[in-house]
Amino acid sequence: MKRWAILLFSFMMVVTMAACSTGSGGSGGSGASGDTASSGGGGASGEAVELNVWLFTGTGMEPYMEKYAAEHNIKLNIQQQEYGDHHNSLVTALAAGSGAPDIALVEIGYIDQFKADESKFYNLADFGANDIMGDYLEWKRVQASSQDGSFIFGIPTDVGPMVAMYRTDLFAQAGLPTNRDEVSKLFSSWEAFVDVGRTIKEKTGKPMVDAANSVFDVVVGQATEHYFDDAGNLIVDKNPAVKRAYDLATSMAQEGLTAKIAQWSPEWGAGMNNGDFAVQMAPAWMMGFMKGNAPDSAGKWDAAAMPEGSGNWGGSFLTIPKESKHAQVAYDMIKTVLSPEGQLELFKSNGNFPSTPSIYDDPAIIDFTDEFFSGAPVGKIFSEAAKKVTPVYYGPKYIIVDTPLTNAIGEVEKNGTDPAAAWKTAMEQIERDLRQ
């Protein structure tokens, strides 16, 4: 359902935002607005400034924003929705030219689409963002900015370096090593990963992963190019990395090595909790989700290195839509919450891995362990994984291309569709969708 919603509203955005680019709140250039409240909170007469903030669920940023608001005479209204609903609401508000918040969280899969219309956002460079962008990973700075770097759309939140969280109980039942270093060696390649899955399936009857698309997303995420090259040309049908990821995912589905459990479904958390699959592909922020949705599995998971590198899943940006009347106050909050010190606190409380590399060697990260994951040094493991992430160009139509591919994998997994036929259908659907 999430992916269908994303496809529909992503397409609506490309068409509708262009048509509505002159709507109220979207015009007037990119400079700092003259009607913003002064820096530090509170209006000129001491009354509280009211800020509306839109987040998708699970970010963990709310208490830090609330603390900042309490200290700076700000009345804070936070709206949280599920990932797809959140972005769809923002698309609708920006296209209509009314109803957008003062601060909006935008995930990496959407940022290039929103960057297509600068008139909808404040240029954070006008508030001094160039002075702090050196704190963030270079590839996150590129993602946050226009092609020439002059327009800064948002300040980076976290990144999503990937590791393989595995069930030690299922590995033991299968007669496999449970030590994280030995398991990492077992995962020497994706082909070796599949072989481990076959052993687990044979010995325990349990599949290796939740869904085939989990494998596809990680393998593609490790590539230096995805669906478009740096010039914006479509390369999905010519990119061997994409085809390899597709073949690996669909072959696992055909062999019964996937549990056929959709991500973000109620069954997903239950599957983690009950041990319905052996490995969860996990970015750092997934730790909070796993602990919240699979409490009975505490101590049954451990963390191993991902086959062939890391990959990145997620990471977002806090932006200020042009409708905000208090952009300076909003920027000051963003700057504080997403500072290196702020991101370190977010990592410790919610597992959000910082996009600020200056703190990667901080003892609070390097020495950070988690008993939920068998006392694994998750700070060190994710820090090492983050250094392996390769920056990649997504493009404004990324999700339009991604959706037919992930739907094709779902057809193979759930309906037994021939992988070659599903691939052909996906390529044809992509061509049609991109022509519209």
pLDDT tops 50 at residue 10:
no
Q: Helices then strands (H, E): number in the chain?
A: 18, 10
pLDDT tops 80 at residue 29:
no
Amino acid at position 306, single letter:
M
Strand partners, 166: 279, 302
Range name among 114-118, 122-126, 129-133, 323-327 with the lowest pLDDT average = 114-118
The length of the chain in residues reads: 436
Range name among 74-78, 143-147, 154-158 with the lowest pLDDT average = 143-147
Q: What is the mean pLDDT of residues 84-93?
A: 95
pLDDT category at 395 given cuts 50, 70, 90 is confident
């037994």: which residue's tokens?
Answer: 416
Residues in contact with 335: Cβ distance below 8 Å, sequence separation at least 6, in sequence order:
129, 132, 155
Q: What is the mean pLDDT of residues 208-213?
A: 97
59 in helix, strand or coil? Answer: coil
Range name among 118-122, 280-284, 349-353 with the lowest pLDDT average = 349-353
What does the angle CA 251 – CA 216 – CA 240 come to, to the nearest 5 degrees? 85
What is the pLDDT, as a whole number, of residue 231? 84
pLDDT tops 50 at residue 25:
no
Q: What is the largest CA-CA distance in the chain?
A: 71
pLDDT tops 70 at residue 337:
yes
pLDDT tops 90 at residue 338:
yes
* Inter-residue contact 76 to 53 (CB < 8 Å): yes
Phi, psi of 224 (to 5 degrees): -80, -15
What is the pLDDT, as a whole number, of residue 17? 40
Can you spell out the DSSP letters for 321-371? BTT-S-HHHHHHHHHHHTSHHHHHHHHHHH-PEES-GGGTT-HHHHT--BG
What is the pLDDT, as a whole number, of residue 40? 57
Output the average pLDDT for the chain. Answer: 88
Phi, psi of 239 (to 5 degrees): -85, 110
Amino acid at position 343, single letter:
Q
Count other Cβ atoms within 10 Å, centred on residue 49. 23
* Inter-residue contact 168 to 300 (CB < 8 Å): yes
* Cα–Cα distance measured from residue 290 to residue 411, given in angstroms and rounded to the nearest whole number: 27
End-to-end CA distance of the chain: 22
What is the pLDDT, as a whole number, of residue 109? 83
pLDDT tops 60 at residue 32:
no
What's the pTM? 0.78
What is the pLDDT, as a whole number, of residue 4? 40
Domains of the chain plus CATH, in order, are: 2-158+314-359 (3.40.190.10), 162-313+391-435 (3.40.190.10)
Q: What is the mean pLDDT of residues 195-215?
A: 98
What is the pLDDT, as a whole number, of residue 311? 80
What is the pLDDT, as a whole number, of residue 12? 42
pLDDT category at 312 given cuts 50, 70, 90 is confident
pLDDT tops 60 at residue 21:
no
